[in-house]
C-alpha cells in the first residue's frame, strides 16, 4: 500500500523555470497578476500593454524579487495595423507559453442602440487581434514541437445578457476558436486551455463605462467578487499540470454569482 500511495502522491507537475512567456494586457488586472505569478516560477517574460509606465513599474518590482529573469517590455497598442511586425521585431512571439489575455468590454447598450465605435473596438481587440496572435504564436510552437496557449474567455462566452450582446458574442467566438485550436493540436504536443472567469474586480468595468468610476464601482458594490490573483493562480495551475494533462476549459466564478441567471448576492 505504501508504494501505491507514493505513486499517487508523486509530483510530476510541468516545470516552468526558464520557460519564456508572452502576456498581453500585462499592465493591469489578470495580465499583471499572471505575469507576477509566472515570474515567481522563474519564467522569462515578454509583456505587452499600451501603458509604458505601468509596464516599467511592474518590471522593476519583479526584478527586485527575481533579478535573474529576462523581461522584455513592449509598449504597444494592439489596435495598430503593424502590431504583429512590432512583436516579431521584438522576438516576442517565439515562446513556450502564450497568455492571450488582452480584451475589453465597451458600453452596456441594447442592440437597437449600439455604439458602432464600441462594437468595432470589441471585435477588433477580443477577436481579430487575439486570433491573429494565436495563429502566429502557434505556428512558432509547431516548429518548437511544444507549447501552451491559454486564451482568456468569460462566463459571457456561455451565457448572454442584456446590454452585453457584442461582448458576449466575442467571448462565444473565443470559446469556439479555442475548441477548434485544441482539436488541431491534440497530437502536436501543444496544449490549449480556455480560462473563463465570472465577475472579477479589475479595471474591466471602468473600461466598459469609459472611465465612469461611479458606474464602475456600482457593479461591485456589496459583492465579494473574484480578484485578478484568483484567476492568475488558476492559470498558473493550468500551466503546471503534468504534460499529458490538458485543461480544456475552466470556469471560475465567485461563490455569490449564479451563472445562468446572472444573479449576484449583494450584502
Answer yes or no: are the C-beta atoms of 105 and 167 closer than 8 Å: yes
Tens-of-pLDDT digits for all 267 residues of the chain? Answer: 556 888 888 789 999 999 999 999 999 999 999 999 999 999 999 999 999 999 999 999 999 999 999 999 999 999 999 999 999 999 999 999 999 999 999 999 999 999 999 999 999 999 999 999 999 999 999 999 999 999 999 999 999 999 999 999 999 999 999 999 999 999 999 999 999 999 999 999 999 999 999 999 999 999 999 999 999 999 999 999 999 999 999 999 999 998 766 667 787
Q: How far is 211 from 144, CA to CA, in rounded Å? A: 42
Answer yes or no: are the C-beta atoms of 23 and 45 closer than 8 Å: yes
CA angle 55, 57, 58 (to 5 degrees): 65
Active site (annotated) includes residue 81: no
Q: How far is 36 from 59, CA to CA, in rounded Å? A: 9
DSSP E strand stretches across the chain: 20-24, 44-49, 71-75, 97-100, 147-152, 190-197, 249-252, 257-258, 263-264
Q: Specify the pTM.
A: 0.94
Catalytic residue among 3, 81, 143, 171: 171
Active site (annotated) includes residue 171: yes
Catalytic residue among 167, 201, 240, 265: 167
Give CA separation, 129 vs 120, 185, 261, in Å. 12, 20, 30
Amino acid at each position: 500500500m505504501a508504494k501505491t500511495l507514493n505513486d499517487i502522491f508523486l509530483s510530476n507537475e510541468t516545470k516552468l523555470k526558464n520557460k519564456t512567456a508572452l502576456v498581453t494586457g500585462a499592465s493591469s488586472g489578470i495580465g499583471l497578476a499572471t505575469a507576477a505569478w509566472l515570474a515567481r516560477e522563474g519564467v522569462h517574460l515578454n509583456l505587452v500593454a499600451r501603458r509604458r509606465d505601468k509596464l516599467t513599474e511592474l518590471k522593476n518590482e519583479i526584478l527586485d524579487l527575481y533579478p535573474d529573469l529576462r523581461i522584455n517590455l513592449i509598449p504597444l497598442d494592439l489596435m495598430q495595423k503593424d502590431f504583429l511586425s512590432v512583436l516579431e521585431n521584438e522576438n516576442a512571439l517565439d515562446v513556450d507559453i502564450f497568455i492571450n489575455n488582452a480584451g475589453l468590454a465597451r458600453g452596456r447598450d441594447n442592440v437597437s442602440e449600439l455604439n458602432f465605435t464600441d462594437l468595432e473596438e470589441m471585435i477588433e481587440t477580443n477577436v481579430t487581434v487575439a486570433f491573429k496572435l494565436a495563429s502566429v504564436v502557434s505556428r512558432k510552437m509547431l516548429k518548437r514541437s511544444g507549447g501552451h496557449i491559454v486564451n482568456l474567455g468569460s462566463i459571457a462566452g456561455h451565457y448572454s445578457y442584456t446590454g452585453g450582446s457584442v461582448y458576449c458574442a466575442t467571448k462565444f467566438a473565443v470559446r469556439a476558436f479555442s475548441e477548434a485550436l485544441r482539436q488541431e493540436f491534440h497530437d502536436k504536443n501543444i496544449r490549449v486551455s480556455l480560462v473563463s472567469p465570472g465577475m472579477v474586480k479589475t479595471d474591466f468595468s471602468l473600461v466598459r463605462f469609459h472611465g465612469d468610476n461611479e458606474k464602475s464601482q456600482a457593479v461591485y458594490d456589496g459583492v465579494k467578487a473574484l480578484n485578478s490573483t484568483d484567476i492568475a493562480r488558476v492559470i498558473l495551475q493550468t500551466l503546471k499540470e503534468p504534460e499529458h494533462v490538458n485543461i480544456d476549459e475552466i470556469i471560475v466564478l465567485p461563490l455569490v454569482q449564479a451563472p445562468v441567471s446572472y444573479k449576484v448576492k449583494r450584502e
